[in-house]
Structure 1
Amino acid sequence: MTDTPVKSYAVGLLSEVRMGADIAEYLRRIDDTLAPFSGRFLVHGNVPTELEGTWPGDLIVIEFPQAEGASAWYASEGYQAILPLRTDNADGVVAVFEGVEHPHRATDILRNGAATGA
C-alpha cells in the first residue's frame, strides 16, 4: 500500500472524427468542464509511432487526481451538456480506468484473480 492516492483516467479511442463547428465548440468548452475535477490531458490525439500493427484512431487520455474523478467528471452537468457535440460527430469508445497503486509490478495483477494461463 501507499499514501499516494489512486488516480483515475478517462480514455477515448476515437475514429471518424468529423471536424466542423460542433467539434470546434466541444474543444473550446471541454477544459472548463475538467477544471472542477482537476482533470488534465496526458495524451490528446497525437500521431502515434506505431511499433506493432496499425493504430486505429485518435487516443485521448485525461488524468484525474482521485479514483472517482474521471467518473464524476463524465457524469457532471457541464460535461453532459457538451457531450453530444462529440458523440454526434465522432465514432469511438470511451472508458474510465482506475490507476494502480505504487509501487506496481506487472505480476501484481496475478494476485487480483487474473487468469494465469494454467
Structure 2
Amino acid sequence: MAAFVIVEVSVHDHKEYEEYKKLTPATLAAFDGKFVVRGGQTETLEGDWQPDRIVVLEFLTVERAKEWWNSEIYTKAKIIRQRTAMTKMIVVQGV
C-alpha cells in the first residue's frame, strides 16, 4: 500500500539547501520514491499554519520510505538538510 512522507521545511541557508535539492532526487529513485509536491505555493484553508515549504514524497510502502530515510545514499543529503533547515517529517500510510 502506498505511503507518503509529508515534510514541512523552514530553510535558513537557501544557498546550501540548493545542494540538498540537487542530491535528493537520485536517492528517492533508488527506493522507488517520487515527489508529489516539491515546494509549491501553499494557501491555508483552516487553522494557524503558515509553512515556508511543503514537500510530499510517495513510496510503495511505509517500509520502503523508512529504508530511504535510513539509507546510506540519503545520509549526505539528510545532513545538509538538517544543517540548513528546520524540518518536521512524518510518514503516513495511504489508502
Give the Cα separation in 2 of the matches to 1:69 and 1:14.
Answer: 22
What is the aligned-residue RMSD (CA, Å)? 1.5
Q: TM-score, normalised by structure 2?
A: 0.87
Give the Cα separation in 2 of the matches to 1:80 and 1:93.
Answer: 17
Bigger RCO (CA 8 Å, 6+ sep): 2
Task: Tell me by how many angstroms 1:32 deviates.
Answer: 0.7
Which consecutive unaligned segments of at least 5 residues does structure 2 have? none
Write out per-residue CA displacement over residues 62-97 of structure 1, whole angstroms, 9 at most, x where no aligned residue.
000223111111011011122111111111211221
Q: TM-score, normalised by structure 1?
A: 0.71
Aligned to 1:27: 21
Which residue among 5, 13, 25 is the counterpart of 1:18?
13
The structure with the largest strand share of the pair is 2
Larger radius of gyration: 1
The structure with the largest helix share of the pair is 2
Give the Cα separation in 1 of the matches to 2:36 and 2:12.
Answer: 20
